[in-house]
Amino acid sequence: MVQFKKEEKEKHLYEYEITIEEEKVQEKLENIYKEASLRVAVPGFRKGKAPRAILKAHLNQNFIKDELARSLIPDALSKVIKEENLTLFGEPDIDLVTVEEGQPLVFKALILEKPQTTLANLEDIEVRKYKVVIRDSDVEKEIEGIQKSRGLWKEKEDLPVETGDMVKVKIEDKEYAVMASFSDDESVLSRVVIGLKRDETGKFRPQETEADKPAEEVDFTVIEIMKKEIPELNEEFLTQLNPELKSLDDLRLKTRESLEKWAEDLVQIRMEKEAVALLAKKSEVVVPSVLIDHETKHQIDHFIEHIQKDGMTLEKYMEITNTDFESIEKDFRKQALWQLKKMFVLQEYADKNGISVGKEEMNEEMERIAQRTGKEVEDVKQILEKNNKMDDLMDQKLQQKLILDILQKVKTKELEEPINIDQWKALEDPEEEMVE
């Protein structure tokens, strides 16, 4: 028989003190000693024949306790969970209180119950559908970008370095390449090289230095200057770009069509993000603080790792941004709460609407990946399993299904006033609007 006491630590977080009666413990103990006597060799006795007292002296008492706990706790915990009708989120934390012969086994289980989620009515949610217009200037800018992407680097002779040039410099016995560009810091290498010719020397001050130690100037020599030659918009360029292009007007038309399709995709993606964000914002769910704490720490650790890759410490970041750790933690805590709330809302939506990803859908997705990458389906499957990415792919597929289902059920408000690409880029991210 299992008895328990329950204490609510906070909403959805409970501590159970569970007691397994002495009779059950003794029964399990008899089985443990019986099995051990058949495995453990006791000098002077055949296996299974050593008296209990002598056998006990040859056994590690921690082993006995561990075996008792391993054998009894899962079943006892399962009975409590069933009796209490709990839906767990994650694995309970177990803390042994009493594990002794001749006594009941007592342990504590910290149980996090899956938070109850009340979904908002999708009929009360309205997303905005923007109309993004493509200007002639956008088309020309895109064509200019295509030209630049197909340009070739060619060495300049005795001309000085200009902004945009690729410059090769020699520092001591090593060579480095730098893109010439203006900077607010007049001592950085990318700015110092401007105006110099090949074989001329200069000095710059490195940005990465030891903490609180001023950087020393470094000498360098310009050994090569490369300028990118942009191809002309002539018949040869059009043919290389696409044999079907017969004129510059054809290129403009194709470019406009491509930009308009790109703009439509952007509008669709924003509508999807806005629908999910509004559903999460309007739904009700109490996220336990222990989860928020854990997710906040995870995000901060990830952030620190990211800035360290750029050669910056958290202390330096706080100094540059004129902030403190308390403010940073507060911002990440808001993000953590939002991400957790959105996760629980989408889980509830999937459960309530019976949306899942089946084996057939996964196979179809792997076939698409195989076609895209030129690999065999079985090879794709093995790569995903080897890198533990199969669950990630399933989650990604489920997210896609959920988002499309949500978007089909919410209301859509088409905005009459069109906006251009610059105005589009100035829009705030839908989720940032929702984070409180």
Band the pLDDT of 31: cuts 50, 70, 90: confident
**How far is residue 394 CA from its own chain's centroid?**
15
CA gap 175, 197 in Å, rounded: 16
For the residues 312-326, what does the mean pLDDT come to?
90
Element (H, E) at 299: helix 289-309
Q: What is the pTM of this model?
A: 0.75
pLDDT in tens, 377-418: 899 999 999 899 999 999 999 999 999 999 999 999 999 999
pLDDT in tens, 258-316: 999 999 999 999 999 999 999 999 999 999 998 999 999 999 999 999 998 877 889 98
Which contacts qualify for 333-337: CB closer than 8 Å, 24 or more apart? 333/292, 333/296, 334/435, 334/436, 335/299, 335/435, 336/292, 336/295, 336/296, 336/298, 336/299, 337/287, 337/292
pLDDT given at position 433: 72
Band the pLDDT of 98: cuts 50, 70, 90: confident
Element (H, E) at 408: helix 390-409
pLDDT given at position 43: 60
Band the pLDDT of 49: cuts 50, 70, 90: low
pLDDT given at position 108: 94
CA gap 356, 397 in Å, rounded: 9
Identify the weakest region by mean pLDDT among 44-48, 93-97, 359-363.
Answer: 44-48
pLDDT given at position 59: 61
| CA distance between the termini of the chain | 48
Q: Is 241 helix (H, G, I), strand (E, B) or coil?
A: helix
**Parallel/antiparallel/unpaired status of strands 126-129 and 411-414:** parallel
pLDDT in tens, 165-209: 999 999 998 999 999 998 777 678 899 999 999 999 999 888 655
Tokens of 10: 């906070």
**Edge-to-edge strands, sheet with 13-20:** 2-10, 13-20, 105-112, 93-98
Matching residue, tokens 């439509």 = 264
pLDDT given at position 207: 66
pLDDT given at position 32: 72
